[in-house]
Amino acid sequence: MKMQSIAFEATDWSAIEKTEHAGIGGVACWRTRQFNDIRVRMVEYPPGYLADHWCAKGHILLVLEGELETELADGRRFTLTAGMSYQVADGAEPHRSSTRTGARLFIVD
């Protein structure tokens, strides 16, 4: 990721419109900003959320609140709680998210 031609700007995430993204279980709410090729999101997963796909996109993800379960296609599972993060490259390891309790995330990809 190369960050170029991005002027300084503060973001009030509460002012960014929410978009809904249905999973197998629950509906995720995203607030998204796009800076050239870089997407920055504040994401909320409700309790019981399960993603409807295996994602191969690279991310840097930080759990702000709640608990996130990340499953890799090879069967490994990771539980992340508030203050924990993960990073994965594009095409590296397909993964999907779920949460029993709900989670709020900050994601850069």
Cα 42–chain centre separation: 7
d(CA 6, CA 49): 33
* Residue 14 to residues 11, 30, 77, Cα–Cα distance (Å): 9, 11, 31
Tokens representing 10 are 């503060």
For the chain, list the domains and their CATH numbers: 19-108 (2.60.120.10)
DSSP SS3 for 92: coil
* Residue 13: how many other CB atoms lie within 10 Å: 11
pLDDT tens digits, one per residue of 34-85? 999 999 999 999 999 999 999 999 999 999 999 999 999 999 999 999 999 9
First to last CA, the chain: 8
Verdict on whether the full-model pTM lies above 0.85:
yes
